[in-house]
Amino acid sequence: MTETPQWNDPQIPDSEWLYRRVPRRPDFFQQRDVLDSKPVIGRNAFRFDDDGMSVYRHFLCVQHGLTPHQIRRNDGYVLFKVGVGAVRALKAGVVDDEDKEDEEIGVAHALVRGEGVMKPAKEQRRQIQLGLIEAAQYVDLDEHT
């Protein structure tokens, strides 16, 4: 019998932020907000890989002295944040997944996974993606540069 992959760590509080790095490419965005011109992301920004959706936990960033600028990497990306509680409300979860190949920020890496699976079925992925679009907040790093 195959063991069900860990899909949610109850030790991670709902109040914690997750950062999602998104390429500055038109196929990742729907438009810009008409009031403040901040990017509005599309579903491509929340794509799942076979093992889940990569994110970075705010708590682990703070614990290891990492900044949002480091998570974003460079100007080719923008950064969004979403609360763990919003992820769980979509029947998804969060687990830590240190990326040992990324010496700079890999210690803060985590994964969003579907309930009981690493990569949810297409319709469930779509519902999670649409929910994350609604919950995500743009992190404006350019104004602090």
Please tell me the pTM assigned to this model. Answer: 0.88
25 domain-assigned:
yes
Q: Which domain holds residue 95?
A: 17-144
Q: Is 27 left (phi over 0), alpha (psi -120 to 50) or beta?
A: alpha
2-27 average pLDDT score: 87
Please report whether residue 8 resides in a domain.
no
Query: What would the pLDDT profile of 62-93 be if each residue is shown by its tens digit?
Result: 999 999 999 999 999 999 999 999 999 999 99
Q: Look at residue 1 and tell me if it is in a domain.
A: no
Number of domains within the chain? 1
Residue 136 is assigned to a structural domain of this protein: yes
For residue 10, tell me if it sits in a domain. no
Q: Note whether residue 4 is domain-resident.
A: no
The tens digit of pLDDT for each residue in 30-51 reads: 666 667 777 678 889 999 999 9
Q: Please check whether residue 5 lies inside any domain of the structure.
A: no
Residue 104 phi, psi (nearest 5): -75, -50
